[in-house]
Structure 1
Amino acid sequence: MSTPLEDRIALGVRARLLEGLHAVVVLRGDETLAEACFPGEDQDWGRPLGRVDFTPDTLHDLRSVTKSVVSLLYGIALDRGLVPPPGAALLHCFPAYPDLARDPARAGWTLAHALDMTLGTEWPESLDYTDPDNAEIAMERAEDRYRFVLDRPLAEPPGTRWTYCGGASALLGRIIEDGTGQRLDAFARDALFGPLGIDAFHWHAGDDGALSAASGLRMTARGLARIGQAMAAGGRWNGAPVIPEAWLARLRASRIETGFGPGYSGQWYLTEQPAPSGPVQVMAGMGNGGQRLWVAPETGLVAVAFCGAYDRPDMWLTPTLLLQRSILAGLG
């Protein structure tokens, strides 16, 4: 038997108000409020898959929600003393580029500038991802992706403002790998996915063999929701600590303005969403095509949406309607 929220979501899909929705999971604490899948056209990291009949076991692109997962991996590695803290000099983590470290304009970079996407470099990622001039696409095709990111022209001093930058996430991924001595997928399996009982995932690598920390992760909706559940529980799963509570607190305590609505902190968006009982503070991972992980720690609410509106200007519409008119509208 379906739940009231599942009925409301299915009605939205039939009415084409939630166009392109592939999968949704909504949890509050241990209660499943909704879990549903819908067929639709999909991609695998840009490769067309045609029409897919989604099930709870189907892997789906996270796209830039990958960045938010990488942030949690950094927090875990930081808690274990394996990576430098946010205030450490960024270029000290890349000793292969002494020429860049000698540049006074770059010497002030810290890991926090990468975490918060305030490096101050020119990074045209607002271009379509099919455009070779898109900075993330150019990075993926570069001979040395890390030099490509670190050697970009400077547009303004570090920390001046937020500029969306998949290259910053690539730097964090490399720092995690260097500090842990493991590839990102292996460290994720050992430190995050395994403890949460997540065994179904895939992490795409670029042509250079480096795993994409910006967009390469594929998971099931339920698997991604487990990460949200742990976050909503202060980083714990079945009572055992998995994600450091101090890292989650840091993510929520700082806020960089993005200029388009939500704030930003450590590869996560911070939003305030309307609900019948009053505004709800939400942490969000957001990815191309309408991929979302929403976590509202005060209410214990966790929601995942997978969609197929890749590279479309209205890709935000279905997840926004889903969250505001279906999920939050039904909260007591």
Structure 2
Amino acid sequence: MGQPNHAGDDDLVRELSDRVGEIVGEGRAPGLHGAVVLRHGDPVLEWYGSGEDFALNVPLGRVDFGPGTLHDIRSVTKSVVAVLYGVALAHGLVPEPDEPILRHFPEYADLAADPWRAHLTVEHALTMTLGLEWDESVPYTGPENSEIAMELAPDRYRFVLERPIVEEPGTRWNYSGGAVALVGGIIARGTGRPLEEFARTELFEPLGAGSFEWSAGADGVAFAASGLRLTPRGLARIGQAVLDAEVVPAAWVERMLRPRVPSWGDASYGYLWHVGADGRATAAGNGGQRLFLLPGLDAVVAVTAGRYDEADQDAAALAILEDAVLPTLAP
């Protein structure tokens, strides 16, 4: 069983630690690997456990997690890419979201000749409303899944951009790692640097987010949709930077977290973030990886877990948030 590391206000730390201990002891946080809670930028909970883990699909065996242990954050990577886009935009290195995507992939002149595709914008990718045929509802084990098919294709960007158009762009959210691959590609092209290198020097190092890894495909290109590995501390630090508009401009944070299209459940989608009606923003990844931004409480909750592909994969994160953090921090 993991041990909390105490910091900040003693009473608050003790109450959070006790609540998390009860949740774990009662089995209400299946597969929980780590949890870090920041309030006003200070750590008020840090908890680590043990469990079977993977680096994407590579088994790592049983891991004893700690402050320096890297963990897949899976599709939370998407939300980090949105942050990176804002940083690059502030430096004038990437286009405004309303610009056509194909203008930044000039090698696909044949696709740009299609008037429908010519009107696809960066914002359509940032909001996953490209209107292109894409299906990630099946397991990530073969080419029946569009993201896997993209990674197996000789040219990932062409693969995405030449998908059949099935609806008006901008009208409906459709979960798409391909959309994020395009965003990552634009960042790499605009900055003249690999995505992971830009992230290291312009985000992770300035924030003191610690070590990281970014898995890549056979072509050496980082998986923009799912390949990032961080510590829970590092993930929470990035979340706090978004709340504080540190490194990433405040104007971009507002645009990024503005609800734009319905997504899962009662949430809406901004730019690669899920946004609730209460202002809560969530970055979510397979297995129970979650980053919750709670602006009303000036709090951040980062959770890592190992329930990959399981129906209850969000149980641990929701238990930490709803049964420990909110009852303790809410006035």
| TM-score clears 0.5 | yes
Contact 1:224 1:304 in 2 (8 A): yes
Task: Encode CA deviations 1:18-71: one digit per residue, 9 max, x unaligned.
Answer: 010000000111332210101011110111111110011000001000010010
Aligned equivalent of 2:305, options 307, 313, 316 = 307
Provide, for residues 182-224 of structure 1, a one-character-per-residue CA deviation record: whole Å limited to 9, x for no partner: 1111111111111101230000001121111000000000011
> 1:69-118 deviations in whole A, cap 9, x for unaligned?
01011001111110110000111011111111011221110100000000
Pick from 57, 62, 67 the counterpart of residue 73 of structure 2.
62
In structure 1, the gaps of 5 or more residues are: 237-241, 273-279
**Which residue of structure 1 aligns with residue 64 of structure 2?**
53
Provide TM-score, normalisation by structure 2: 0.94
Cα RMSD after superposing both structures: 1.3
Aligned residues: 319
Superposed, 1:316-331 pairs within 5 Å as 316-331=314-329
What runs of 5+ residues in structure 2 fail to find an aligned partner?
Answer: 1-5, 7-12
What is the match of residue 210 of structure 2? 199
2: CA distance between counterparts of 1:196 and 1:328? 26
1:152 maps to which residue?
163
Judge conservation of contact 2:85–2:94 (CA < 8 Å) in 1.
yes
Choose the corresponding residue for 2:87, options 62, 65, 76.
76
Corresponding letter in the other structure for 1:97: Y
Distance 1:22 1:141, change over 3 A: same
AA aligned to 1:253 is R
Q: Report the secondary structure of 1:109's partner residue.
A: coil
1:263 aligned residue: 268
Quick one: which amino acid aligns to residue 212 of structure 1?
Answer: F
Q: Measure, in 2, the Cα distance between the counterparts of 1:96 and 1:222.
A: 40
Alignment of 1:114-153 (within 5 A): 114-153=125-164
Partner of 2:3: none
Q: Flag the 1:313–1:132 CA change in 2: closer, same or farther, 3 A.
A: farther
TM-aligned CA deviation for residue 261 of structure 1: 2.3
Residue in 1 that maps onto 2:197: 186
Whole-angstrom CA distance in 1 between matches of 2:136 and 2:172? 15
Q: Name the CA distance, whole Å, in 2 between partners of 1:329 and 1:198.
A: 28
Bigger shift: residues 199-208 or 322-331: 322-331
CA contact (8 A) 2:20 2:324 kept: yes
Structure 1 vs Structure 2: percent identity of aligned residues? 50
Which one has a larger percent helix, Structure 1 or Structure 2?
A: 2
1:125 Cα deviation from its structure 2 partner: 0.5
